[in-house]
Amino acid sequence: MLSTEFSMNLLSKMVQIRAVEELIADDFFKSKIFSFLHLSIGQESSAVGVCSALETDDLVMGNHRSHHHYLAKGGDFDKMVYEVYGDSRGCCKGYGGSMHMLDRSVGFVGSTPILGSVAPLGTGIGFSIKASKKNNIAVVFIGDGAAEEGAFYESINLAALMNVPVLFVIEDNKYSVISAHSDRKAKDYSYPKIIEGLGATYHRMEARDVNAVSKQTKLMKENILADRKPAVLHLDVVRGTYGHSGPMKEKAPGYRVNDTPEFIEANDCITVSKDLLIQNGVEPEKVEALIANTIKETEEKFLNIRNQIKVRI
């Protein structure tokens, strides 16, 4: 059973991530941000839930969409914002931009935009943990499109063969850019058959409830360490109203037939987690105050950093 304080902290972290991404999106064109941009809006619960169950020495890798992974693992807020703007004070000295996040001090060992590449890289990091005989795991965040790459399955096979302590987390928002599962997968495509056949454990769940994600991750980490066997946590997430990339909201996109505004709102992870807190006895006023204060603090921090950046023309 997670404490109320713990659950409130998870909600606050999700709100912080969303608030800063919305601020970056709003400022993207006005300030001529030259970095590619992939927002995690709608998917915050996957990163926050998973990382809340980890220790600092558990090493995490992300992909092209990794603001939420970085911040959820405790990455430096200021350095992330500087990096997006290409400022030399960024987490990668301004050279990487939005798709390259790094904060080794908290165990976030990098993100890479090359599709599927994070799987073998993360497996290699798992090897380093095993070789150093540490009681920790590597965690790899990968999208549902990248989870169809051969490198993903080869990495699972190698990790199972060599008993590598690695957790692969699939964030499944149903669309690889604008192509749905039905456009990309054979009729009988089966994640559990393939993954379990390669020797890893597999669990799939909705990621709307951040507390449930946290508890499941804790359990899977314990099993990985006990069995020295890789695992895959398949999280169903909702992309939100923003597109695959860029700061623009999508208005009735034809390829997202089932993702109506009503569906997105009803399945929003922040709304769901907030409502669950209230259902479990937390005063609504206390929850709303937490959200409002987090948004205010995030806006103040962002604007303070933003005002120090000299925008390139």
Domain count, the chain: 1
Does residue 311 lie within any of the structural domains?
no
Predicted pLDDT of residue 181: 65
Does residue 201 lie within any of the structural domains?
yes
pLDDT tier at 179, thresholds 50, 70, 90: low
Does residue 313 lie within any of the structural domains?
no
Does residue 262 lie within any of the structural domains?
yes
Q: Taking all residues of the chain, what is their mean pLDDT, rounded to a whole number?
A: 91
Predicted pLDDT of residue 233: 98
Residue 97 sits in which domain range?
Answer: 4-306
Predicted pLDDT of residue 139: 98
pLDDT at 74 over 70: yes
Predicted pLDDT of residue 313: 46
- Residue-wise pLDDT for 238-288, tens only, equals 887 777 777 777 765 676 777 777 888 888 999 999 999 999 999 999 999
- Residue-wise pLDDT for 108-148, tens only, equals 999 999 888 999 999 999 999 999 999 999 999 999 888 88
Predicted pLDDT of residue 227: 92
Does residue 312 lie within any of the structural domains?
no
What percentage of the chain carries pLDDT values higher than 90? 72
- Residue-wise pLDDT for 234-252, tens only, equals 999 988 777 777 777 776 5
The CATH number covering residue 168 comes to: 3.40.50.970
Does residue 199 lie within any of the structural domains?
yes
SS (H, E, C) the chain: CCCHHHHHHHHHHHHHHHHHHHHHHHHCCCCCCCCCCCCCCCCHHHHHHHHCCCCCCCEEEECCCCHHHHHHCCCCHHHHHHHHCCCCCCCCCCCCHHHCCCEHHHCEEEECCCCCCHHHHHHHHHHHHHHCCCCCCEEEEEECCHHHCHHHHHHHHHHHHCCCCEEEEEEECCEECCEEHHHHCCCCCCHHHHHHHCCCEEEEEECCCHHHHHHHHHHHHHHHHHHCCCEEEEEECCCCCECCCCCCECCCCCCCCCCCHHHHHHCCHHHHHHHHHHHCCCCHHHHHHHHHHHHHHHHHHHHHHHCCCCCCC
